[in-house]
Amino acid sequence: MKRIVIVGATSAIAEATARILAQQDARFFLVARNKERLALVAADLALRSSHEPGTYIMDCSDWTMHQAMLDAALAHLGGLDGLILAYGDLPDQARCQSDMKALRQALETNLLSACTILQLAANHMASQGHGVLVGISSVAGDRGRQSNYVYGAAKAGLAAFLSGLRNQLQAKGVRVVTVKPGFVDSPMTKDLSKNALWAQPEQVGRAIAQAMAGRRGGVVYAPWFWRWIMLVVRAIPEPLFIRLRL
């Protein structure tokens, strides 16, 4: 039985992932900032598994709560086998260019707060000699685009942080998985127009659950074809990339 903390448990991708893990007899400690929505997610998971999830209300931007959250998770679960860091926010790029508070908040939510949560969980897992850490980055972090570079920079930083953790923790029996979804139809992207490249949260959830069940860490593109799309995008020479004005 796996004991799993999900930070950002009200996210559509997190919810889809948890439903799959519930079928594998996972036990959960769910963390989110919206009390009512978290209660609904917890009630749904309680029906799908034989265990009552623990819940914790936290705005992840408040890093002073991170250790207390982890302590509460350990107390509820009696140990920690996995942590999924799923929260994030797609900022208004134009606003971030004129409002420095919005720019900094976007970096705080998508990068800085994520780093402290991951580091604290990594320290615990390293000391116990096992565990799997999952961080949801994005294909947006693979190359900065003019239309989305604040979010992209945060997700690139998160991917680099996870890469370093993976490198460091491999020898300590801890696996680190970086998930890079492409376009996913979720509340975060409700105002964007959709096309054939868009995936459902369940597809990403399946990829995450599969990676967690594997024996190694690594980078998972979800759906898989984004690995090849981003290979091409990264290979475009900078002068041409600038002319494309993406």
Ligand X SMILES: NC(=O)c1ccc[n+]([C@@H]2O[C@H](COP(=O)([O-])OP(=O)(O)OC[C@H]3O[C@@H](n4cnc5c(N)ncnc54)[C@H](OP(=O)(O)O)[C@@H]3O)[C@@H](O)[C@H]2O)c1
Q: What is the DSSP letter of 10?
A: T
Q: Which of 1, 24, 25, 34 binds ligand X (CB under 6 A)?
A: 34
188 belongs to the binding site for ligand X (CB under 6 A): yes
- Taking every pair of C-alpha atoms in the chain, what is the biggest distance, in angstroms? 56
Site for ligand X in 198-237 (CB under 6 A): 201
70 near 124, Cβ under 8 Å? Answer: yes
**Binding mask 75-114 vs ligand X (x if CB under 6 A, - otherwise)?**
-----------xxxx-------------------x-----
DSSP 3-state of 56: strand
Among residues 77 and 139, whose Cβ is nearest to ligand X? Answer: 139
CB of 58 to ligand X, least distance (A): 7
Site for ligand X in 160-179 (CB under 6 A): none
Rounded to 5°, angle at Cα 220 from 219 and 222: 150
Distance CA 167, CA 165 (A): 5
Q: Which of 2, 6, 8, 56 binds ligand X (CB under 6 A)?
A: 8
Distance CA 128, CA 233 (A): 40
- The residue with its CB nearest to ligand X is 88
Q: Which of 20, 184, 208, 211 binds ligand X (CB under 6 A)?
A: 184
Tokens matching residue 8: 């950002």
- The H or E element that residue 71 is part of is helix 66-77
Binding site for ligand X (CB under 6 A): 8, 10-13, 32-34, 37, 59-61, 86-89, 109, 136, 138, 181, 183-184, 186-189, 201
Catalytic positions, written as ranges: 151
